[in-house]
């Protein structure tokens, strides 16, 4: 079944690449009408004549613009204070064109999938005026940010934002890095339908790049132009919803762009799928990993980028050859003889023109070192499935469904070694809110997501430095919705 879907995926992509779209909407200059309305808004945003009275911000007609980061729209900052980012975000149903003659009814933040980029710098205060225009309640979770639990989109802490209601998210961003945001209610449906956005917290003194790209890799399940009913197939209960179309920055087609030999770019990658672990490669250029979930790492080279759901990588790409550079998604499929083979599907193609310049990787300042702290406690979290007499599957952490009982309580500042033990076959991308951890004998850097393969154990060292009530769950959204969701309390 799973492999059949991959084959379907392959043929869909083949069909689409024959009708080949060379158009890259994200780097087109903005259309004139929009330019005009943006200028109007800029005009309205002049400092108020009376400095004492705060200007009342109405909901703007246009809340996004073509920013400097390639890969889609950016949220407009309506605040004049250089240390405050104030934006308007709306979730609403939208009909989106995902490819040639492929219009699908989805959900979108400010009308785009992926949702627009929220950009801030370390230490900024971020104010998000959020409006829910969906026919159902939602919240916004800022995946990876170490902020207060009241602003984390946890529907057990904040009241869900009901249809037609607004909520103001307000927090300070302390950690530079690449993040994303998404709902934390019915996440298997709302994220699949297109509710996810991009987030960058910029470091001070970041090096300059020829270009910066943000690429959200996703897959969605389509039956014609429709998304089939949720949680109605056994496979989906077991493995989460694996799509039959790869969706890259909101298109099932191949993205294209151009660059010059010798250019160095920064790519920020995030896996926003419901369930699929992405296996990415970059052909035709030199690249290295320079950042991950929790920010900068010392640059290192890899062949493949394995990205469980929720994972981010910052990659530095050096165009040291001319010709075609591709970002590929490597998926398993079946060939005509029924054998399982790996197929490389290009998501993005960059045409590199000759300049005769060799170029070189950026000379980064040393990455911040992770302080070596003694472990205060060792605990275990087990991942398992339960089946009731009627055959219904639920997913449990430490035998508990939905963590109605708190999993652990730690004192703030605790360093905890956690054994993540997967007792069953399906893999689980474990995600911890509000804190970072390191993977013992794993990839370098601070993480908030780690893949726990079938019947295997991963050890992490977590730094519980942020007090509050925090969710810890599997990021296969179906598993989380079916119970693989717990709460960890960090006491002050
Ligand atoms: Cu990406 Cu609990 O979240
Ligand atoms: Cu899982």
How is 465-476 classified by DSSP, letter by letter? -S-EEEEEEESS
Q: Which residues, other chains included, contact 475 with Cβ-Cβ below 8 Å and sequence gap of 6+?
A: 308, 309, 310, 429, 430, 431, 449
The CA 477 to ligand 1 mean position distance, Å, reads 9
Kindly report, residue by residue over 74-129, the tens digit of the pLDDT: 999 999 999 999 999 999 999 999 999 999 999 999 999 999 999 999 999 999 99
Q: Which atom of ligand 1 is nearest to the CA of 180?
A: 1
Global confidence as pTM: 0.89
The CA 480 to ligand 2 mean position distance, Å, reads 7
The CA 276 to ligand 1 mean position distance, Å, reads 15
Contact 111, 61 (CB under 8 A): no
Name the closest ligand to CA 431. 1
Contact 114, 72 (CB under 8 A): yes
Quick one: DSSP state of residue 150? Answer: G
Asked if residue 308 has its Cβ within 6 Å of ligand 1, the reply is no
Q: In angstroms, rounded to a whole number, what is the distance separating the alpha carbons of residues 377 and 379?
A: 7
Name the closest ligand to CA 480. 2
Q: Which residues, other chains included, contact 1 with Cβ-Cβ below 8 Å and sequence gap of 6+?
A: 235
Kindly report, residue by residue over 225-236, the tens digit of the pLDDT: 999 999 998 899
The CA 158 to ligand 1 mean position distance, Å, reads 15
pLDDT at 400: 85
**What's the number of CA atoms in the CB half-sphere (13 Å) around residue 63?**
23
Asked if residue 473 has its Cβ within 6 Å of ligand 1, the reply is yes
The CA 281 to ligand 2 mean position distance, Å, reads 24
- Cβ-count burial 118-149 (b if 16+ within 10 Å, e if not): bbbbeebebbbbbbbebeebbbbbbbbbbbeb
Name the closest ligand to CA 479. 2
Kindly report, residue by residue over 132-186, the tens digit of the pLDDT: 999 999 999 999 999 999 999 999 999 999 999 999 999 999 999 999 999 999 9
Kindly report, residue by residue over 447-485, the tens digit of the pLDDT: 999 999 999 999 999 999 999 999 999 999 999 999 999
The CA 310 to ligand 1 mean position distance, Å, reads 7
Asked if residue 310 has its Cβ within 6 Å of ligand 1, the reply is yes
Contact 288, 316 (CB under 8 A): yes
Asked if residue 312 has its Cβ within 6 Å of ligand 1, the reply is no
Q: In angstroms, rounded to a whole number, what is the distance separating the alpha carbons of residues 349 and 18?
A: 15
At 403, is the pLDDT very low, low, confident or very high (cuts 50, 70, 90)? low
Asked if residue 433 has its Cβ within 6 Å of ligand 1, the reply is yes
Asked if residue 213 has its Cβ within 6 Å of ligand 1, the reply is no
The CA 51 to ligand 1 mean position distance, Å, reads 40
The CA 394 to ligand 2 mean position distance, Å, reads 11
Contact 423, 453 (CB under 8 A): no
pLDDT at 391: 80
Asked if residue 141 has its Cβ within 6 Å of ligand 1, the reply is yes
Closest to 482 in 3D by CA, of 159, 149, 239: 239
pLDDT at 45: 53
- DSSP result, 237-269: HHH----SEEEETTBSSPEEEEEETT-EEEEEE
Nearest CA to ligand 1 atom 3: 143
Q: What is the mean pLDDT of residues 352-372?
A: 93
Mean pLDDT, the chain, rounded, equals 90
Name the closest ligand to CA 384. 2
Nearest CA to ligand 1 atom 1: 143
Name the closest ligand to CA 482. 2
Asked if residue 160 has its Cβ within 6 Å of ligand 1, the reply is no
281, two tokens: 């490669």
Q: Which atom of ligand 1 is nearest to the CA of 182?
A: 1
381, two tokens: 């979290």
Q: In angstroms, rounded to a whole number, what is the distance separating the alpha carbons of residues 178 and 296?
A: 10
Please check the confidence at residue 27 and state whether its pLDDT lies above 90: no
pLDDT at 58: 85
Asked if residue 311 has its Cβ within 6 Å of ligand 1, the reply is no
Q: Which atom of ligand 1 is nearest to the CA of 141?
A: 3
Contact 490, 470 (CB under 8 A): yes
The CA 452 to ligand 2 mean position distance, Å, reads 9
Helix, strand, coil percentages (3-state) for the chain, rounded to 5, are: 10, 45, 45
Q: Which atom of ligand 1 is nearest to the CA of 480?
A: 2
Asked if residue 431 has its Cβ within 6 Å of ligand 1, the reply is yes
The CA 79 to ligand 2 mean position distance, Å, reads 40
């Amino acid at each position: 079944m799973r492999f059949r879907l991959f084959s379907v995926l392959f043929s869909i992509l083949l069909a689409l690449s024959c009708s080949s779209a060379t158009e890259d909407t994200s780097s087109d200059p903005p259309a004139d009408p929009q330019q005009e309305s943006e200028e109007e808004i800029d005009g309205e945003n002049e400092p108020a004549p009376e400095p004492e009275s705060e200007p009342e911000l109405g909901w703007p007609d246009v809340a996004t613009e073509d920013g400097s980061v390639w890969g889609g729209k950016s949220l407009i900052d309506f605040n004049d204070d250089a240390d405050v980012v104030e934006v308007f975000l709306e979730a609403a149903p939208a009909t989106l064109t995902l490819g040639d003659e492929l219009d699908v009814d989805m959900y979108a933040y400010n009308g785009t999938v992926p949702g627009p980029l929220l950009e801030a710098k370390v230490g900024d205060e971020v104010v998000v005026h959020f409006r829910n225009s969906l026919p159902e309640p939602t919240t916004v979770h800022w995946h990876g940010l170490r902020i207060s639990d009241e602003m984390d989109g946890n529907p057990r802490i904040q009241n869900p934002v009901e249809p037609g209601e607004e909520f103001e998210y307000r927090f300070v961003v302390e950690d530079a890095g690449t993040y994303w945001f998404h709902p934390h209610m019915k996440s298997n449906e709302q994220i699949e339908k297109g509710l996810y956005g991009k987030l960058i917290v910029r470091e001070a003194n970041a090096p300059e790049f020829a270009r910066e790209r943000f690429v959200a890799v996703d897959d969605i399940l389509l039956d014609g132009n429709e998304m089939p009913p949720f949680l109605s197939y056994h496979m989906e209960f077991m493995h989460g919803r694996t799509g039959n179309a790869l969706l890259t920055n909101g298109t099932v087609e191949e993205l294209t762009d151009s660059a010059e030999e010798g250019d160095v770019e920064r790519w920020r990658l995030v896996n926003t799928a419901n369930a699929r672990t992405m296996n990415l490669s970059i052909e035709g250029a030199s690249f290295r990993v320079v950042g991950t979930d929790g920010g900068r790492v010392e640059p290192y080279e890899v062949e493949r980028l394995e990205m469980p759901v929720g994972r981010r990588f910052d990659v530095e790409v050096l165009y040291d050859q001319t010709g075609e550079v591709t970002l590929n998604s490597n998926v398993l499929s079946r060939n005509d003889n029924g054998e399982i083979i790996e197929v490389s599907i290009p998501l993005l193609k960059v045409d590199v023109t000759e300049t005769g310049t060799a170029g070189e990787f950026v000379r980064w300042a040393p990455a911040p070192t992770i302080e070596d702290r003694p472990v205060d406690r060792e605990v275990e979290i087990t991942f398992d499935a339960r089946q009731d007499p009627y055959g219904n599957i639920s997913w449990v952490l430490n035998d508990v469904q939905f963590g109605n009982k708190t999993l652990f309580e730690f004192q703030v500042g605790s360093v905890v070694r956690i054994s993540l033990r997967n007792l069953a076959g399906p893999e689980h991308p474990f995600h911890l809110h509000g804190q970072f951890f390191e993977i013992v004998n794993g990839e370098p850097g601070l993480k908030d997501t780690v893949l726990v393969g079938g019947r295997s154990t991963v050890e992490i060292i977590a730094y519980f430095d942020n007090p509050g009530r925090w969710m810890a769950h599997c990021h296969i959204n179906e598993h989380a919705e079916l119970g693989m969701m717990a709460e960890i309390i960090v006491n002050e």
